[in-house]
């Protein structure tokens, strides 16, 4: 059975600090819900804004393409 993997990319108000929050589940909805739960737990001060939400089906087929530092 494939698993869904969701990544939320967020940025703080200054625009310089990025954070990434993820979640994995048997369905797309569960994956997104876990990622949002992790995002809200980390964003205690309410300073971050979501830039992107990406969900992958069967994360084992996704490879690292590039590393941006």
Is 68 part of any domain?
A: no
Domains: count for the chain: 1
pLDDT digit string (tens) for 24-65?
999 999 999 999 999 998 887 778 889 999 998 877 766 655
Please name the residue that has the structure tokens 């941006």.
68
What burial class does residue 25 get, using C-beta atoms within 10 Å of its C-beta: 0-12 exposed, 13-18 middle, 19+ buried?
A: middle
For the entire predicted model, the pTM comes to: 0.76
Is 31 part of any domain?
A: yes
Q: Could you tell me the residue range of the domain that residue 35 belongs to? A: 4-59
Is 64 part of any domain?
A: no
pLDDT, position 69: 41
């Amino acid at each position: 059975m494939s698993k869904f993997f969701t990544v939320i990319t967020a940025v703080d108000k200054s625009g310089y600090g990025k954070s990434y929050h993820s979640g994995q589940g048997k369905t797309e909805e569960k994956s997104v819900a876990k990622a949002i739960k992790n995002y809200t737990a980390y964003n205690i001060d309410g300073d971050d804004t979501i830039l992107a939400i990406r969900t992958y089906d069967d994360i084992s087929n996704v490879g690292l393409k590039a590393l941006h530092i």
